[in-house]
Amino acid sequence: MAHLAENRYGKARVRVMKVVRHATHHEMKEWNVRVLLQGDFETSFSKADNSKVLPTDTMKNTVYYIARESQATTPEGYAMDLVQYLLDNNAQVSSVSVEVEEKSWGRVSVAGKLHPTTYSLNGPEVQTACVTKQRGSEFEIISGVDGMVILKTTDSEFTGYIVDKLTTLKESTDRIFGTRATITWGYGKPPADFAAVRIAVIDSVLATFAAHHSLSVQHTIYDIGEAVLKAVPSVEWIKQTMPNLHCLLVNLEPFGQDNPNMIFVPTDEPHGYIEATVRR
């Protein structure tokens, strides 16, 4: 006999831009939101009974409603407000998960001063937050950044690995190290200022990546994780995913030229894929 196992449903890719118009400047956020509900929905699947189903279109409208009502200035704070509203107003829901991606808009600098109302997109990465709450429990909050493209042109090696009959990779003691990193982190308890923690984490990631003499991607991931945990006490764990953005040395000998680590072909297919979590 069939029975319904784990299930959830919701609304995804709800895009919302919020502009708060202060007297001296405007504050702008662009969010991409996904809402997922779990709860007493068994009969909606097995009996075609929609009496406990909150329409996903209503969820979309709730995203906009809470964006207007919420005083939060971070994706984490906004997601917490949205989660709590859905739990408070839907008795059939046992758990809500809200994921928010925030584009990295920043105010433009003109003549050395931030323009009050003009923005530029600062990078390809998006700031992320995932907030989940079971009814009667505390918030579970994961912050992060997705698509952080970073590269260093030296201080990276890869030697001493397994060599077998299928190995063609040459050892390198001076290579380009590039990656499109996805980084998430969690907390022992929610911090008072998510924005300040985010800045501290990213600053620590970039500073360690720049200063670190890498003997492998694994080596770099661990040292970055260790540095973040040391620099940011509220962070309990950090997970990093670092696919390689390879830069392959071009053979210029057919053209009568040498190539002293100068001319490369950037490529990301296929690429190495390394991920690890570092905890306290």
Annotated active-site residue in 18, 26, 43, 56: 56
Contacts of residue 114, defined as CB under 8 A and 6 or more positions apart, other chains included, come to 25, 107, 108
Alpha-carbon gap, residue 153 to 175, rounded angstroms: 7
Annotated active-site residue in 11, 60, 133, 152: 11
By CB atoms closer than 10 A (0-12, 13-18, 19+), residue 16 is: middle
Known catalytic residue at 212: no
Known catalytic residue at 246: yes
Euclidean distance between the first and the last CA atom of the chain, given in angstroms as a whole number: 46
Structure tokens at 172: 């390198």
Annotated active-site residue in 29, 103, 133, 246: 246
Alpha-carbon gap, residue 80 to 98, rounded angstroms: 8
Alpha-carbon gap, residue 237 to 228, rounded angstroms: 9
Report CA 234 to chain centroid distance, whole Å: 18
Known catalytic residue at 60: no
Catalytically annotated residues = 11, 56, 246
